[in-house]
Amino acid sequence: MTGKPEHHLLSIRGAFLLAGALFLAGAAWPVLTGCSFFSPEDDLSSGGGEYVPPGWTAPDLYYPKSAYFPTRIVEFRQAPGQYADNDSFKIEGNTGKLLGAPVGGGIYGADSSSIVSLGMAGGRVIFEFDPPIENHPDNIGGYDFIVYGNSFWADGNPASPSREPGVIRVMKDADGDGEMNDTWFLIPGSHLDSSDSTVTVEYSVSSSSGEGTLSWTMDGSPAGSRDFSADQRWWPEFTVNPDSFTEVWLLPDALYANPPGLEYSLVWGYADNAPTMILGDLDGNGDTRGTEDYPGIDPVYFYTVPDTHGDNTIDPGSGGGSAIDVEWAVDPSDFSAACPADIDLIRWIEISSGSLITDDLLGERSCEIDTIVRVRREP
């Protein structure tokens, strides 16, 4: 099992810094494609699509290339939110984005061209891998899969991360019937430590004709409301009114703070928490112009390499993303009991939004997902 860092609070940075950072985050700046705010590297490669770094060789793969990406989306459920009825970012009609290689913007900016927005708390999507993901000792770094979203760092500073974390659950096909009818195990990550984190959220809307007021309750008590206009239709089309989401895992508000309360190294085990690197940024500095970089690399060689959590860097050669070790999984009814030893194969992975926070600047803190990738084995 990979070691877990201690939890520490980071002193609050200036509000103006985060406002700018989070405004660019996630779908708030929908398509910031491959953008860096500055290029710190002056040692440039020869350029051109045929450039290969000296000494680079393709690693061996245990599986066919296609098996490193999800086989299909089993099911999904859209929660209300500012992109819940947006044709480019709602889950409906965009599940194809979730099945291929991720598209990265790097540490300085997000690329949202390949993401979907799950909406507010309870919105979810379930991925299937066939063959299942192995909890194998030879997987690089001891990790088993990587979740990619559109997180980044303001000004490239890991102390000012733009994140909208999502909760991860995993399931093994324990009875071998190919049906998703076995036990869901939770990845608690750095900040979930009790089943008391689950609530029932019910959403209702005053009008579904394009604009109105979205309201929600938490365990039956009023918890918030939000007016929305016709250009940001928060209520998903054809959704029943009211719409109830049960057993919703809520993450602490500090993970979504404005300014952020926790630096990158102190939050792990969640979706949409770590930058997705620009394809071929092998030196991890935020662009692909260095002599060690390889812009033409096959994505399966790059995005299958996890980043080690617990520090404030992206490992050279890694595609970034949130690396997950299946051994972190617990039975959510008993956080003291580790995942049983027979959880050796994971067939299904669920990502769900874990926040009910809204504000005038950013709308809501919806988790955005690009894809999940199987970690490849050590060379």
Scanning the chain, the segments in alpha helix (DSSP H) are 15-24, 299-302
The answer, yes or no, to whether residue 18 has pLDDT greater than 80, is: no
290: which strand partners?
44
* Inter-CA distances, 301 with 12, 267, 306, 351, 373, Å: 38, 26, 11, 24, 11
Q: Which residue has the tokens 């959704």?
A: 239
CA-wise closest residue to 124 among 251, 224, 269, 271: 271
CA-wise closest residue to 326 among 306, 307, 309, 341: 341
Q: What is the mean pLDDT of residues 135-154?
A: 96
The answer, yes or no, to whether residue 342 has pLDDT greater than 90, is: no
Cβ proximity of 223 and 242 under 8 Å: no
Q: What is the pLDDT of residue 362?
A: 74
Q: What is the pLDDT of residue 149?
A: 97
The lowest-confidence range among 48-57, 101-110, 324-333 is 48-57
Q: What is the pLDDT of residue 48?
A: 53
Here the tokens at position 194 are 């009790």
Q: What is the pLDDT of residue 258?
A: 67
Here the tokens at position 261 are 């309360």
* Inter-CA distances, 108 with 70, 214, 314, Å: 27, 33, 12
| Confidence band for 260, pLDDT divided at 50, 70 and 90 | low
Distance CA 291, CA 337 (A): 48
| Confidence band for 54, pLDDT divided at 50, 70 and 90 | very high
| Confidence band for 237, pLDDT divided at 50, 70 and 90 | confident
* Inter-CA distances, 259 with 8, 160, 263, Å: 16, 8, 11
Of 373 and 232, the structure prediction assigns the larger pLDDT to: 373
The answer, yes or no, to whether residue 122 has pLDDT greater than 60, is: yes
Residue 357 burial (CB count, 10 A)? 20
Domain map (residue ranges) of the chain: 15-36+59-173+191-328+353-370
How many Å separate Cα 82 from the centre of its chain? Answer: 18
Q: What is the pLDDT of residue 361?
A: 73
The lowest-confidence range among 24-33, 145-154, 215-224, 233-242 is 24-33
Average pLDDT, the chain: 86
The answer, yes or no, to whether residue 42 has pLDDT greater than 70, is: no
- The per-residue pLDDT for range 182-224, each reduced to its tens digit, is 999 999 999 998 888 899 999 999 986 678 999 999 999 999 9
